[in-house]
Amino acid sequence: MRDLSVTLIQCELAWEQPGDNRKQIGDLIAGLDEIPDIIVLPEMFTTGFSMNALANAEQPGGATEQWLRELAGRHDCALTGSIAVQADNGVYNRMLFATPEGIEHYDKRHLFRMAGEHKRYLAGGQRVVVTWRGWHILLQVCYDLRFPVFSRNREDYDLAIYVANWPAVRREHWRRLLVARAIENLACVVGVNRVGSDARGLDYSGDSLAIAADGTLLRDMENENGAARVILSGAALQSYREGFPCQLDADSFQLD
């Protein structure tokens, strides 16, 4: 199993200004010394965590999807993050995974009711694992982090990616749950959050993390604004799983 290079983009987001956010992120990517295998962007990276779902929603194949595909093709990498997308007579908080070959997506399953997200967005129903450069990758969005059964590793993924707009007031929950997901699932975990404040007055502390399967912090961005690169070791992941194969004693279950 080869190593996988991942760049975490942790930045402020202009409220409901997709063009400004795409430009900001594009400039950060253009300034990278080395293009990784995957670039991870925050949740709702074009608008911030807005409940103006219909006003902000793009159509499938819209401007942001085209932008992601162009970047993926130009740099020969994958890019992932979520945006609002209108489909099925509603709007999804949709996590896109763009590669030079096309776009796959995951629709956020657990909607954050404390902000009214469940009233403005449709809930996704399917757990999604994509494959890129020999790694199987589980796609997850923000509040999904609190529901470990949904993300339980059934020996079908090597890396879980969580994209988020997670407020600073609950930053310790974010940090501890990301580490827990790595340990309990014998998988690497990358969590990318935003920084700054939004139009609702919520502050975000960032705390984007990359974590090895044994819970070791490989990268901690704290409150940094910008990009950080990490190498996930395929050999180390395989060795840890072989030396501590607790998945062999896991309970079988099905998701309804």
Any idea which residues carry the catalytic annotation?
Answer: 43, 108, 142
Closest CA to 119 of 45, 198, 47, 53: 53
In whole angstroms, give the CA distance from residue 13 to residue 165: 10
Q: In what order do the strands lie in the sheet with 4-10?
A: 102-107, 90-99, 78-87, 38-40, 4-10, 226-232
Contact 104, 161 (CB under 8 A): no
Distances (CA, A) of 145 to 18, 196, 245: 26, 21, 23
Nearest to 21 by CA among 38, 39, 57, 46: 46
Instruction: Tell me the sheet residues that pair with 189.
Output: 160, 211
Cα distances (angstroms) measured from residue 62 to each of 18, 81, 103, 195 = 12, 15, 12, 26
DSSP count for the chain of H helices, then E strands: 6, 14
Report the 10 Å Cβ neighbour count for 125.
8
Cβ 174 vs Cβ 191: under 8 Å = yes
The pair of three-digit structure tokens given for residue 105, joined into one six-digit string: 């997506």
For tokens 């890129």, the residue is 132
Q: What is the CA radius of gyration of the chain?
A: 17
